[in-house]
Chains A and B, each alone.
Chain A
Amino acid sequence: MGFPYDKLDWSVVDGAMFMGAGSTLTFFYTLIAIIICIAFLLYGQMIESDKYDKVTK
């Protein structure tokens, strides 16, 4: 987090300026996002299976 340039001034910005630019944060953001997507899919599958089970019983 924080401004990714040494000087707190937009005039020095000449490239990537997003949150976490130039740090390992981008890796962690990406990893967390992927884990959430997979976890949600698994949970979603569980819920949907319960609904199918109710109909088939």
Chain B
Amino acid sequence: MEEKIAELTAQIAQLEASSQVTNTMFAEAYYYLTIPLMILIHAGFLAYEMGATRMKNVLSSGVKNILAFAFVIPAFYFVGWWVYWAFPTGINFAAGPMGISGWEYASGIAWGWGESAQYMGPNIADNASGVFWGAFALFAATTASIMSGSVIERIQTVGFVILAIVLGAFAWVVAAAWGWHADGWLVTQFGMHDFGAAGVVHAVAGFFALGVLINLGPRIGKFNADGSANDLSGHNLPFTATGLMLIIVGFWGFLMACMILPGEGWSWTANTGTTIYGTPMNLSALSFNILMGICGGVIGAWLLNRDPFWMMSGALAGIISVASGLDVYFPALALIVAIGAGLLLRPAARMLEAFGIDDAVGAVTVHGTIGVYGMVVFGVFATGYPALFIENAPTVSILGQLVGAIVCSLCGFVPGYLLSLGLGGLGMLRTPEAAEIAGLDPTKVPAQAYPEGIPASAQPAE
């Protein structure tokens, strides 16, 4: 009898070990697959941005976008990952209540040297660090791509790459540490909830772009002497619209990477998916609300503007507008909120233009304005929801969401403005006027986008 019990106990232990291996491998594969999905965001931004440029600048826009990706990822490896774990409680670098933040904790897991280097490279006993770092690195690269489109056709390559590095490896990471981390002071003190990063990614990147645009200035020919704006149409709208659709595909990866899987040492729970704050959620919630967000954004944008560029931007804005609460929105409500974002889009972009800001692809509006809108609207509808999976958790409120949105916007705007001001002073920001007029491709790119040309298409409707 005892032998039988011992045998059964051994079998149970074996089954448990086997089940744990399956769970660990699934979790690793889950986050790993979000990375190529998120690379689609960059494929999309590349197409979107190149289509939105005039023919004389197509390839230089592409070069800039590709380089941003190439520099931001290693910069995030060198510095950004440490910033995320070191900064949550503020600039005192103290450990937070969850014990997963602060100078000491970050230095133990996120530097590429000393003892912590074991978590920053191949390690057969660590199935989590690489895939988590990879997913976050792609979030970082996304911020750079958001800024990239707004500054096309007149920014210098190296100056742009420096801006992208600071945005991707520092500015947004500070906001994420403060508002997208269980120890973040915006979460623990203000109950900020931003599941899908409307504030910590989109608002930061959008307002960083605004800070840069103020110092960069508009493209030659964008504004007339009386202040009225001209439409400097891109050379390939179908390419741009397709790029936007690719971005939307990639966002499914981005948003699924925001979920914390159960059953692992680093999980919040044994059997339920959670947000980064530990509050319960699942992929079904994402499926309902992302789709409703996309559709609402398109519908809202279509009502005020029949331009497919703005309709597809509306799809993106729709997702961003409900991103903070994708885990708890009711789908019909998500549709209504996203329709509001679609309606807001074009007037907000026109208002920016009225201030003399030339945002070539509407990035400030789509990501900045709508990111803030999404954060605040979530506060209106989710007031009273506990912000963390702990007893006596702070609750979501309009004030908390507003404070979060303002902090995120400043985390983007201040470094974007100051750094671009400095780069301008060093002559590294704006391309020379002669190069801008001649086109950046013939000036510096040793290749031709369309050697055989493109035939003109039909005239637009009124």
With A8-B393, A43-B303: A19-B382 Cβ-Cβ less than 8 Å = yes
C-alpha spacing A43/B339, complex, angstroms: 15
**Measured CA separation A9–B285 after assembly (Å):** 19
Decide if the interface of chain A is mainly helix, strand, loop or mixed. Answer: helix
Stretch of B3-11, B124-132, B204-212, B324-332 at the chain-chain interface:
B324-332
User: Are A19 and B332 in contact (CB-based, < 8 A)?
Assistant: no
Closest to A43 in B: B303
Q: How far is the CA of A29 from the CA of B299 in the complex (A)?
A: 17
- Chain B residues whose CB sits within 8 angstroms of the CB of A21 once the complex forms: 330
Chain B hits for A54, CB < 8 A: 462
Q: Indicate with 1 or 0, residue by residue over B364-406, a CB within 8 angstroms of chain A CB atoms.
A: 0000000000000000111111100101010100000000000
Contacts of A18 in B (CB 8 A): 285, 328-330
CA distance A8 to B381 in the complex (A): 16
**Nearest-CB distance from A44 to chain B (Å)?**
7
The reply to whether B329 and A19 form a contact with Cβ atoms under 8 Å apart is: yes
Residue from A26, A47, A51 in contact with B332 in the complex, judged by beta carbons closer than 8 Å: A26
Per-residue A-contact encoding for B285-304, CB less than 8 Å = 1, 0 else:
10000000000000100110
Flag whether B142 is at the interface (Cβ < 8 A). Answer: no
Collect the chain B residues with CB atoms within 8 Å of residue A40's CB: 299, 302-303, 339
The reply to whether B336 and A33 form a contact with Cβ atoms under 8 Å apart is: yes
In the assembled complex, B335 has its CB within 8 A of some CB on chain A = yes
Closest chain B CB from A7 CB (angstroms):
9
* B280 lies within 8 A of chain A by Cβ: yes
**Which one of B278, B386, B389 has the greatest number of beta carbons of chain A within 10 Å?**
B386
Residue of A nearest to B396 (CB): A3
> Do the beta carbons of B384 and A8 come within 8 Å of each other?
yes
Residues in B neighbouring A9, C-beta threshold 8 A: 386, 391, 393
**Shortest Cβ distance from B285 into A: residue:** A18
In the complex, the chain A residue whose C-beta lies closest to that of B289 is A18
Inter-chain CA distance A33–B299, complex, in Å, is 11
**Contact between A3 and B384 (Cβ–Cβ < 8 Å)?**
yes
Q: Name the residue of chain A whose CB is nearest to the CB of B299.
A: A40
B156 at the interface (CB under 8 A from A): no
| B188 in contact (CB, < 8 A) | no
A10 to B385, CA, bound (A): 9
Report B388 CB to chain A, min CB distance, Å: 8
Residues of A within 8 A of B302 (CB): 40, 44
Q: Which of A3, A30, A36 contacts B386 (CB 8 A)?
A: A3
Beta-carbon contact of A36 and B280 below 8 Å? no
Q: A1-B381, A8-B386, A10-B280 are in contact. Are A36 and B330 (CB under 8 A)?
A: no
Q: Which has the most chain B C-beta neighbours within 10 Å: A18, A36, A43?
A: A18
B329 touches A10 (CB 8 A): no
In addition to A10-B279, A26-B330, A33-B335, 10 A-B residue pairs with Cβ atoms within 8 Å of each other are A1-B384, A2-B384, A8-B393, A8-B395, A11-B391, A19-B382, A29-B330, A32-B336, A33-B336, A37-B299
Instruction: Provide 20 A-B residue pairs closer than 8 Å at the C-beta atoms, listed in order of the A residue.
Output: A1-B380, A1-B382, A3-B386, A8-B393, A9-B391, A10-B278, A11-B389, A11-B391, A18-B328, A18-B329, A18-B330, A19-B325, A19-B333, A19-B381, A19-B382, A20-B333, A26-B332, A36-B339, A44-B302, A54-B462
